[in-house]
Every structure is written in C-alpha cells, then in structure tokens.
Amino acid sequence: MLPTWIRWLAFGVGAFLILGGFVAATAGEAFAGAEAIVFGAVAMIASILQRPRYRSNAAELGHEDAGPGGGEDGPLEPRFLPTNEVFIDPTSRRLMRVFVDPRSGERRYRAEG
C-alpha cells in the first residue's frame, strides 16, 4: 500500500511530464514530447487506480483504516463465511484468511492471529 503523499507525488510528476511533453512537441521535438506525454499519463492513471490491497470498495470509499496485513479490521458481516484459502501476505508476512459471501462471491481478507 502506497501512502497518500506518494500517490499525490506521482500524480504531480505525471502532470509535469504531460506539460513538458506538450512544450517539447511545440518546440519541434515530437517524439520526445509524445514519450513524455505517455509516461506522464501512465503515472497519473496509476496513481488514481492504485489502492490498498485486500480492501473492499466500501472500506476504500469510507476511508477506513486498513487492518493487520492490509486487510479489513473490525466486525465482519455474518454473510461472509471463512474459506480454507489462506496465504502469507508478501509485504507484511502476516497469515491472511479469505472470507466469501456465497451469494455474491464478494471476498474479504483478514489477518489470522
């Protein structure tokens, strides 16, 4: 999970690259300008689309804090049932368990232990 300030920094760098690309293109450097515009657009799009791992849209939109291991914290709705699917999160090294809503297939991730 990237901190918010890094996402804003990537967005700002992308905006400067796009602006610089347009300046370079109008100065006669079409290839360099197009290259800067593409890299800037990729940086801006990536900063917008990046979000913390193992989070539901509801938790993300509610700006809730991530739980241990990057999963969700707090009480889990009764519709979510534990599965046998467990894995080690490569970043936090925490054991994560997958919970699923059998009706919708929606998944939630919780740190074990």
The residue ranges of every structural domain in the chain are: 4-49, 57-111
pLDDT tens track of the chain, all 113 residues? 566 788 889 999 999 999 999 999 999 999 999 999 999 999 999 888 876 566 666 666 666 666 655 666 778 889 999 999 998 887 778 888 899 999 998 888 888 87
How far apart are the C-alpha atoms of 33 and 29, rounded to whole Å? 6
Smallest Cα–Cα separation from 72: which of 94, 50, 103?
94
pTM of structure = 0.53
How far apart are the C-alpha atoms of 81 and 78, rounded to whole Å? 7
User: E strands within the chain?
Assistant: 81-88, 95-100, 107-111
